[in-house]
Amino acid sequence: MSPKKQSAYAVPKLTNFSAKTLGARSTELRAALEEEIRRLLLIQTAGGLEHDAEWKQRWEECKALRDRWVARKNGIVTQLKDLWLNPAPSDKKSEVGRRFNELKTHIEEEVNRAQALLQRMETDDQNAIIESDPSGHFGSYDEALKSTQGLDITLPGIRHPLGAEHPVIKTMNEMVRVFRNLGYSVEEGPEIETDYYNFEALNFPPNHPARDTQDTLFMANQESKPLRDRLLLRTHTSPVQIRTMEKMKPPVRVVCPGKVHRNDAPDATHSPIFHQIEGLAVDTNITFCDLKGTLDHAMKEMFGSSVRTRFYPSFFPFTEPSADVQISCIFCGGRGYRDGGPCRNCKASGWIELLGCGMVDPNVYGFVDYDAKKVGGFAFGMGVERIAILKYGVDDIQLFFNGDVRFLEQFA
């Protein structure tokens, strides 16, 4: 790879210490150093050194250059001391000493600069340096050094890509904003929960199948603890509702955004990690009409004012009655067909199921010391990825978590 080695420079023994001789020998030494550094920095092809092995070899040559010139034991600087400075007659000592110091500084500086330039060539500016020399060779070592030494304002700048909000976080923030505008505040809670907050206080009976390890990720080695104290990764953001009611008396109006975990294998529609937003409103005189009005408004804010909602009977342990909410299909306008065929987004039904909701089960109030005879309220929950998938037309939930910048850049 490296050019054919020329006979290496050796420090000549000085017998004549005249200024003229000292000057000539110094010039030879400087030229030899420059030539060695030029050889080190020479790029053989316009494409630069592409392979790690080539760079490794280049760095070994760089280390050899440093050893050869400045190593304390038998480096050229040390030889200058032994062969020029020490044998100098006393009347020439100061002149030779001055020369020696000059050369020593020069050698150290040049070796350091060569190393810095090699470093820069290997990293980000390799292309820029090669472009400035279309023949693929450095015209001169000095010229190459000007990359490291000065600032050439005519070169194109280094572009730093702008970051953007992740589509899941963006959707979550939009959703939170809708409810903030309705007077809701934001509450958060821990991702590692106890069975009590994740299940028991939400009216899940002790043998409810959601506790099954097929659905829930439990912490290991907790068999000795009572069921309600066992730790798990929360499977929904509903525990935050319990924690909020424990510390707050009605009226309560909160939304709880956050990350949740299920024991699901990842595929196009499932992920072991996803995000939810839940909402809770508790006060006197809250009815199912308030729930319907609130969610209808929220869906119109998210998907446009032409979107319609409908409520379907459903079941959740912590709400009674419970409902699934469907919105009119945003792809076909609720018609069930588009482009002359059935709409595949709503399976030609004209409706898309989006979230679950219901009136808070009076049993839940018992866990948080609310008087179920005096207060009532509603709760709702939705998957953030599900909404983001609809909003941005994404066909694989895994794209949100792969961290592929090409995907994320589309949302910048």
Compute how many other C-beta atoms are within 10 angstroms of the C-beta atom of residue 298.
23
Question: Which of 292, 338 has the CB closer to Zn ion?
Answer: 338
Question: Which of 295, 346 has the CB closer to Zn ion?
Answer: 346
Minimum Å gap between C-beta 327 and Zn ion is 10
Minimum Å gap between C-beta 348 and Zn ion is 7
d(CA 152, CA 146): 9
d(CA 398, CA 385): 10
Question: Which of 133, 324 has the CB closer to Zn ion?
Answer: 324
- Cβ distance 198 to 234 under 8 Å? yes
The pair of three-digit structure tokens given for residue 5, joined into one six-digit string: 């080695």
Minimum Å gap between C-beta 303 and Zn ion is 13
Minimum Å gap between C-beta 332 and Zn ion is 3
Question: Which of 258, 334 has the CB closer to Zn ion?
Answer: 334
d(CA 326, CA 352): 5
Question: Which of 29, 343 has the CB closer to Zn ion?
Answer: 343
Minimum Å gap between C-beta 331 and Zn ion is 5
Minimum Å gap between C-beta 350 and Zn ion is 6
The residue among 358, 360, 379 whose CA lies nearest residue 370 is 360
Q: Which residues contact 2 (CB under 8 A, 6 or more apart)?
A: 39, 57, 61
- What residue type is assigned to position 298 of the chain? A
Question: Which of 256, 352 has the CB closer to Zn ion?
Answer: 352
The residue among 201, 200, 230, 197 whose CA lies nearest residue 213 is 230
Question: Which of 145, 346 has the CB closer to Zn ion?
Answer: 346
Segment (H or E) for 122: helix 93-122
Q: CA of 68: how far to CAs of 22, 31, 181, in Å? A: 21, 15, 72
The pair of three-digit structure tokens given for residue 261, joined into one six-digit string: 């975990």
- Site of interaction with Zn ion (CB under 5 A): 329, 331-332, 343, 345-346
Minimum Å gap between C-beta 333 and Zn ion is 8
Question: Does residue 322 sit in helix, strand or coil?
Answer: strand
Report the interhelical angle of 288-303 vs 384-392 (nearest 10°).
40
